[in-house]
Each structure stands twice: as structure tokens, then as C-alpha cells.
């Protein structure tokens, strides 16, 4: 590599004649290589090559507000992929799985989660548990759908009063659980 920059395990940092392996670096066949993911630091004065490990994003914890995409909907449970933690202000490159039980979906009594959520819906929820799979709740006016599409024509639905409306096929969707922060008005 010869200069400072991003490194992944196995990346060449330099040769043993130039640098000695320091923290998160090792030598193999005369070549100094990275042992961790992070920023490579090459010190020409001390003749050291090291890697400062990249920080891992904080895991969601109980009480955090998250954004997720609904992946699977069953009658009593829905699975969502958590991609953003609003509380910690961090995006997750690999999403975490969240579970919404029918009792935590709305303050109203529901017969099925198909009434309020569909595949690909983007929602805002609160984390209830400490370990994956994370239990989620969308109870309350600030939690629920942030963006959804019409199940018939896939046009993004607009909020019209208390309901969602499709401008293309002119259908009204009344039972959806909408957040007060819904994107399209």
C-alpha cells in the first residue's frame, strides 16, 4: 500500500524492510499486512505499520426509535429489516431483523397485520427488546408508516386527512397505521 488509507484484513501495508508490524498488523513472507478493518497508519520515523480499527455502529437498544422496511407479513406477526437508528443517528449497512406482534402494531384491535402493513412499507417504530431479533412497537401517533405504495399499481400513497390515497387508481386505504411523520402529503 505504501500510504495511509482504508485497510481490510490481508491488505498489504508495506514490506518488512520498511515497517515493523504494530497493532492490528502482522508479517507474512516479508510483507506487513492488515489484521483488522480500519485506517492504516504508517509511521516512517518509528518504522511501524498499524491499523486503527473502525468503530462498529451501536446496536439498537430498548427505547430506541428506528426505521425499518417490512419484509414479511403474517396474520399475527410482521418481520421488518431495521436500516436506520434515529436515536443514535446511524445507518446499518447490514440490516437487523425486527419483529412486530399484532398486539404492538396499533392501539386499535386488529384481526390481521395485513390490514395495517404490506410488503416493502417503510415504518418508524420503537425497540422493545435488547437482543436480536428485536421486538418492535408501532403504538402511538408518532409511530407507523413513513412511506407505502398502492398494492394495486405500486404508486406511492399520499396522506389525505386521516387516510392514504392513491392518485393513480384513486383508491382510499383507511385501515393503515400511519405515523404523523408520513412523507407524502
> What pLDDT, in 10s, does the model give residues 46-74?
999 999 998 878 899 999 999 999 999 99
Which pLDDT band, with edges at 50, 70 and 90, does 3 fall under? low
Write out pLDDT tens, residues 7-44.
999 999 999 999 999 999 999 999 999 999 899 999 98
Give residue for cell 420503537: 126
| Residue 159: predicted pLDDT | 92
Please determine, for residue 128, whether its predicted confidence score (pLDDT) is greater than 80.
Answer: yes
Taking the whole predicted model, whether its pTM rises above 0.75 is answered as no
* Banded pLDDT at 2 (limits 50, 70, 90): very low
The CA-to-CA distance between both ends of the chain, in Å, stands at 51
Burial class of residue 169 in the structure, from the number of CB atoms within 10 Å of its CB (0-12 exposed, 13-18 middle, 19+ buried): exposed
DSSP 15-48: ETTT-EE-TTEEEETTEEEE-SSEEEEEETTTTE
**pLDDT of the residue at 32:** 94
Domains and CATH numbers, the chain: 5-53 (2.40.50.100), 65-173 (2.40.50.140)
Whole-angstrom distance, CA of residue 86 vs CA of residue 1: 37
The average pLDDT across 117-128 equals 96
CA distances, 125 to each of 69, 100, 128, 141, 175 (Å):
11, 9, 9, 11, 18
- pLDDT value, residue 1: 42
- Which residues, other chains included, contact 63 with Cβ-Cβ below 8 Å and sequence gap of 6+? 87, 126, 127
Which residues, 6 or more positions from 29, have their beta carbon under 8 angstroms from its beta carbon? Answer: none
Amino acid at each position: 500500500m505504501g500510504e495511509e488509507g482504508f485497510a481490510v484484513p490481508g491488505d498489504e501495508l508495506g514490506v518488512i524492510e520498511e515497517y515493523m508490524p504494530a497493532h492490528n498488523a502482522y508479517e507474512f513472507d516479508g510483507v506487513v499486512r492488515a489484521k483488522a478493518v480500519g485506517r492504516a497508519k504508517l509511521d516512517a520515523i518509528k518504522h511501524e505499520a498499524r491499523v486503527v480499527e473502525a468503530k462498529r455502529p451501536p446496536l439498537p437498544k430498548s427505547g430506541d426509535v428506528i426505521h425499518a422496511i417490512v419484509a414479511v407479513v403474517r396474520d399475527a406477526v410482521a418481520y421488518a429489516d431495521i436500516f436506520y437508528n434515529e436515536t443514535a443517528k446511524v445507518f446499518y449497512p447490514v440490516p437487523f431483523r425486527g419483529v412486530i406482534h399484532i398486539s404492538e402494531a396499533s392501539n386499535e384491535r386488529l384481526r390481521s397485520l395485513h390490514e395495517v402493513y404490506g410488503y416493502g412499507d417503510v415504518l418508524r417504530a420503537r425497540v422493545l427488546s435488547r437482543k436480536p431479533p428485536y421486538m418492535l412497537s408501532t403504538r402511538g401517533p408518532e409511530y407507523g408508516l413513513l412511506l407505502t405504495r398502492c398494492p394495486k399499481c405500486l404508486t406511492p400513497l399520499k396522506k389525505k386527512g386521516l387516510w392514504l390515497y392513491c392518485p393513480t387508481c384513486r383508491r382510499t386505504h383507511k385501515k393503515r397505521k400511519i405515523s404523523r411523520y408520513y412523507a407524502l402529503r
